[in-house]
Structure 1
Amino acid sequence: MRVAVLDDYQGVALKLVDWGTLPGVTVVPFRDHVHDPDLLVARLQGYDAVMRIRERTEFPRSVLERLPDLKLFLATGMRNARSLDLEAADDLGITVCTTNALHQTTVEVTWALIFELMRNLPAETESLRAGGWQVGLGRGLAGKTLGIVGLGNMGIPVAKIGQVLGMNVVAWSANLTPERTAPHDVTCVTKDELFATSDVITLHLPHSDTTEGTVGARELGLMKPRSVIVNTARPALWDEAALYAALREERIGGAGMDVYMVEPLPDDHPFRHLRNVVATPHIGFVTEENFEIFYRQTHENLRAYLDGSPINVISGSRPFLPDSQVAQQMHAQKLASSKRA
């Protein structure tokens, strides 16, 4: 079995587990990302399995249908429905197995971005490295209002940290109610109130048809001139063009971001160069602990599949047959056809 590991940016695919304990398995990691579907299909010809790190590469039906050798898709993390066509995988008999993931790691990056924005850390560290000293005044968080868009698995711990820091915490989402926010000492507000009154806004919604474009020009226009907004969730939650305009014209205080509509972010993308942006390269889930889970459980999933008893399956049922068995199966089919003739 040939296994392709996609988007191995850190070059760890051959280090975190011992693939040699799976006889007959050849693992080939790719450290670069392929955007073009035709190039992706060309790259994966002849591979029996694909391991994907989170949702870095999309697999719509149009791609899966052009990969006749693909029998096993090794996903990492549970959010796969929008970036991997599970219905197509099921139709094509491609088994999809997945792994667990730690979620609090993204909460940590959320607060790292907030701290950098509010305390002006990029400019201060840049000055120090250049031989300078203090260059500006940061802003404290105590007494400020933290607006959380989506009070779920991510939003709740973000709220708790804000409360520890002395912030007033408010929240909104389409289905959020005061009864649901009260146990967390969070005030449920309207969407407009959140954007108009918050000093720090952070997005923690899943990507769906109803959440796409949650933050557009209108919402950004409601923000206070010095307020900042952070997105470590999904890029489609905000309108990147509207956000860029607001940042370029300094109509808001700044933005922190870990997710982008095109990843890796193009070299000439303006978010790389705006002074009021703090940007990280989608590292919310990128920790030693998460990758240990991804690779260990993927190794277990692959072993179970090869043993004929797949585990952690979310779609598909296509068995793997070594080349010799494929030849035997084809020969048997030919014999059956000749007898019927």
Structure 2
Amino acid sequence: MKIAILDDYQNATQSLKCFELLADHEVKVFNSTTRGLGQLAIRLAPFDALVLIRERTAFNRALLAKLPNLKLISQTGKLASHVDVGAATELGIAIAEGVGSPTAPAELTWALIMAAARKIVPYANNLKDGLWQTASINPALNGLGFVLKGRTLGIWGYGKIGQTVAGFGRAFGMRVTVWGSEASRAKAEADGHTAAASREAFFEQADVLSLHLRLNDATRGIVTADDLARMRPSALFVNTSRAELVQTDALEQALQRGRPGHAALDVYTSEPLAADSPLLRIPTVLATPHLGYVEQDSYELYFRHAFQNVVDFANGAPANIHNPYYAANARR
């Protein structure tokens, strides 16, 4: 099969041990992202199978219809809303779903919390300029960091990642409070944490508030400007899940008003994030380039399953196919 691996920004996939699974196939790795429909259609038209790195490229009906040779989309990790499943099914394109792990995104979340709480990045950057124990040359931003022990960690979304982050919080001596579905709150209480009394109290009481929700129609824009305005001026807002969970522009405006006082972010509505993004101009924001799953062990896990799904499909034994009724519509 002719296979394309999309959006491999660091050209990392060919160095993975699991890349040898595709040894019998013709593989092209693209290291740059293309957004235009026409450009994408021209680039991808020759390929039988595409391996997608999470949601870095979206596939709507218009694009899928311009890919006559495409038979398989193999997804790294779990499928999200970036692929029009209905259109793919109608066009006879199979979508193979992969697996994920909560470990890397949970660890990155905690790294961001630790770094933001202790102002590690500005301290380190200023040290290179000869400034000792200086977080900022602006006196208003040159305050002390804070320890996590004894403070309240708010977690919205108590799935695998949220549970892991809650465990980190407990290990650091934090009070963990959870908001989310009734089932999530009950599970949190069963694990010895606290369920927030209300949504309002959840935002008002958290010293550190971290989102761990899946993005779907029900959760898009679920965090509102009113929610953020309830946060303390000293509070830290953390988002390593999806930027679209927050209402458009609400976080930027909230940070400029000082509630919450700080944010640590790994996800953005448009990625790669433009260098002139307003978020990067806010000094109280710690921003990383969507690194949640970008590490060696996660790549080996994600791509081994994605590549194996391609091999199985090529061998006439498709597995882990996500779209319903695919068999009845499959391209011959």
Instruction: For 2:182 and 2:62, locate their aligned partners in 1 and report how far apart those are by CA, in whole Å.
Output: 34
Aligned counterparts of 1:32 and 1:216: Cα–Cα separation in 2:
34
Q: Measured at CA, do residues 71 and 177 of structure 1 come closer, stay the same or move farther in structure 2, by a change above 3 Å?
A: closer
- Is residue 72–residue 96 contact of structure 1 (8 Å, CA) maintained in 2? yes
Which residue of structure 2 aligns with residue 12 of structure 1?
12
Which structure 1 segments of 5+ residues have no match? 322-341
Tell me the CA shift for residue 150 of structure 1: 1.1
Give the partner amino acid of 1:209.
Answer: D
Q: Is the CA contact 1:244–1:271 (under 8 Å) kept in the aligned structure 2?
A: yes
**Aligned equivalents of 1:84, 1:177: Cα separation in 2:** 28
Q: Deviations over 1:298-335 (max 9, x none)?
A: 332222222111122223347787xxxxxxxxxxxxxx
* Identity in percent: 36
Q: Give 2:277's match in structure 1, choosing from 250, 262, 269.
A: 269
Q: Distance in 2 between matches of 1:19 and 1:166?
A: 45
2:137 is aligned to: none
CA distance in 1, matches of 2:306, 2:215: 25
Question: Distance between the aligned counterparts of 1:177 and 1:76, measured in 2?
Answer: 26
For 1:63 and 1:214, how far apart are their aligned partners in 2?
29
Q: Is 2:146 the partner of 1:139? A: yes
Query: What is the distance in 1 between the residues matched to 2:217 and 2:55?
Result: 17
Instruction: Provide the TM-score with structure 1 as the length reference.
Output: 0.88
Residue 207 of structure 2 contacts residue 234 of structure 2 at CA under 8 Å; is this kept in 1? yes
Match of 2:113 in 1: 114
Q: CA RMSD in A?
A: 1.8
Question: Any conservation in 1 of the 2:44–2:67 contact (CA below 8 Å)?
Answer: yes
1:4/1:50 contact within 8 Å kept? yes
Closer, same or farther: CA 15–196 of 1 in aligned 2, 3 Å: same
Larger C-alpha radius of gyration, 1 or 2? Answer: 1
Q: Secondary structure at the match of 2:14?
A: coil
**Counterpart amino acid of 1:64?**
L
Q: TM-score under structure 2 normalisation?
A: 0.90
SS in 1 for 2:251: helix
Determine the C-alpha separation between the residues in 1 that align with 2:50 and 2:107. 30
Worse-superposed segment, 275-284 or 181-190: 181-190
CA contact (8 A) 2:179 2:185 kept: no
Name the aligned partner's letter for residue 307 of structure 1.
N
Q: Distance in 1 between matches of 2:331 and 2:216?
A: 34
Q: Which residue of 1 aligns with 2:192?
A: 185
CA contact (8 A) 1:64 1:88 kept: yes
> After alignment, is 214-223 or 94-103 more displaced?
94-103
| 175 and 39 in structure 1: CA distance in 2 versus 1, 3 angstrom threshold | farther
Distance 1:233 1:179, change over 3 A: same
1:105 shift after superposition: 0.8
